[in-house]
Amino acid sequence: MDRLTSMNVFVRTADLGSFAAAAEALRISPQMVAKHIARLESRLGTPLINRTTRRQHLTDIGRSFYERCKIVLSEADAADAIALEMKITPSGTLRVNAPVTFGTSSLTPFITHYLAQYPETQIELTLSDRLVDPVEEGYEVILRIGELTDSQMIAYPLRPYRLIACASPDYLAQNGVPETPAELANHSCLVYGIWSPQAPCRWQFYKEGKMQEIHPEGRLRSNDWRALLHAAVSGYGVTLGPEDVLKEEINAGRLIQVLPGYEGPSRPMHVLTPAGLRQTVKIRSFIQAVKQAFG
């Protein structure tokens, strides 16, 4: 018989005043109640309950033991509650990898909110545009933009990563507002990435199911989106960038969307975790939060 169980039976018996009442409350037989009490009395070498045909009462030792048993049982319940909370509350360090621009502009604000919501968690965020090996490099959650090729990952789709074209009010006032993608040839474009003549940059726009592609030209190219955003706000040209970031600039009046009647390029986005990795509470919680925020 379990010692804590026997203590619980003894306390219920003392509280309810009879073996029969304790048996009914605990859904066991009166004989089993008697066995639990007898086991405790045998272990302690002294009676805990004086029993007659009409009534029962605790002995002096029984009363002291009763008070201590209540404390022990309360502490045991508290320990169970702590263990259960640890099973259902995210805790520990989570290693996350994401693309640089998305990670800097959109994911980091989300992560700070997540950390505030779950104070027992820590997140190690690595930003890189290369395809990392999650198993070899120890990442538990990965955000990826683009088509997936790795079958060893469990992937959860998020909303597409959409790009829109924007320019500052001053730039448009001086250079005019393009009405079609083709008119961007007459504008200074701020281009993300460094392309060679053999692999020129392409901006694609869609309208009524038809795609129009241009090769943007301009005086500034960069592999850092923040540099292009600063240049666009400063009035140096038209840029094509992530909708989530540019909407903030548009709402603040620092940029204006151009070609609003066209859909800009979009790429699929997923949150992934290695297929062979045990799905702990922290991983499940983080992925669910990502899906709610970016799904």
Q: pLDDT tens digits, residue range 149-175? A: 767 789 999 999 999 999 999 999 999
Mean of pLDDT values over 12-35: 90
For 6, how many CA atoms within 13 A lie in the half-sphere containing its CB? 16
Report d(CA 188, CA 168) in Å as an integer. 12
| Mean pLDDT across 19-35 | 91
Q: Can you give the pLDDT at residue 192?
A: 84
Residue 104 is which amino acid? Answer: T
- pLDDT value for 231: 95
101 or 256: which carries more pLDDT confidence?
A: 256
**Whole-number pLDDT of residue 280:** 84
Residue predicted with more confidence, 72 or 136: 72
Highest mean pLDDT among 102-106, 135-139, 155-159, 200-204: 155-159
Q: What confidence category does residue 196 fall into, taking pLDDT thresholds of 50, 70 and 90? A: low
Range with the lowest mean pLDDT among 86-90, 107-111, 147-151, 236-240?
Answer: 86-90
**Which element (helix H / strand E) includes 9?**
helix 3-16
Q: What is the pLDDT of residue 193?
A: 74
Q: What's the average model confidence in pLDDT over 224-248?
A: 91
DSSP annotation of 288 reads H
Comparing CA positions, the residue from 72, 68, 5 lying closest to residue 39 is: 5
Residues 6+ apart with CB under 8 A from 294: 106, 110, 158, 159, 269, 271
Which percentage of the chain shows pLDDT scores above 90?
56
> Using CB atoms within 10 A of its CB, is residue 130 exposed (0-12), middle (13-18) or buried (19+)?
exposed
pLDDT at 184: 93
Q: Which parts of 78-120 are beta strand (E)?
A: 92-98
What's the chain's average pLDDT?
89
Average pLDDT for 139-152: 86
Q: Which residue has the tokens 């090769």?
A: 215
Task: Give the strand pairing for 203-207 and 210-214.
Answer: antiparallel
pLDDT digits (tens, 9 = 90+) for 69-87: 989 988 888 777 766 666 6
pLDDT tens digits for range 257-292:
999 999 988 889 999 998 888 788 889 899 999 999
Q: Which of 130-134, 181-185, 233-237 has the lowest mean pLDDT?
A: 130-134
Phi, psi of 152 (to 5 degrees): -90, 10
Which residue, among 15, 23, 24, has the nearest Cα to 73 in the 3D structure? 15
Asked if residue 198 has pLDDT above 90, the reply is no
Strand partners, 94: 123
What pLDDT, on the 0 to 100 scale, is given for residue 290? 95
Taking the C-alpha atoms of residue 7 and residue 46, their distance in angstroms, rounded to an integer, is 15
User: For residue 42, what are the CA distances in angstroms to 6, 157, 164, 205, 284?
Assistant: 12, 63, 80, 85, 49
CA distance from start to end of the chain: 52
- Which two structure tokens, joined as six digits, stand for 131? 């395809």
Nearest to 10 by CA among 47, 54, 52, 55: 47
| Contact present, 203 and 216 (Cβ < 8 Å) | yes
Report yes or no: 268 and 146 within 8 Å, Cβ to Cβ: yes
The C-alpha atoms of residue 242 and residue 218 are separated, in whole angstroms, by 19
Cα of 50 vs its chain's centroid, Å: 58
pLDDT at 293: 93
Is 55 a residue whose pLDDT tops 80? Answer: no
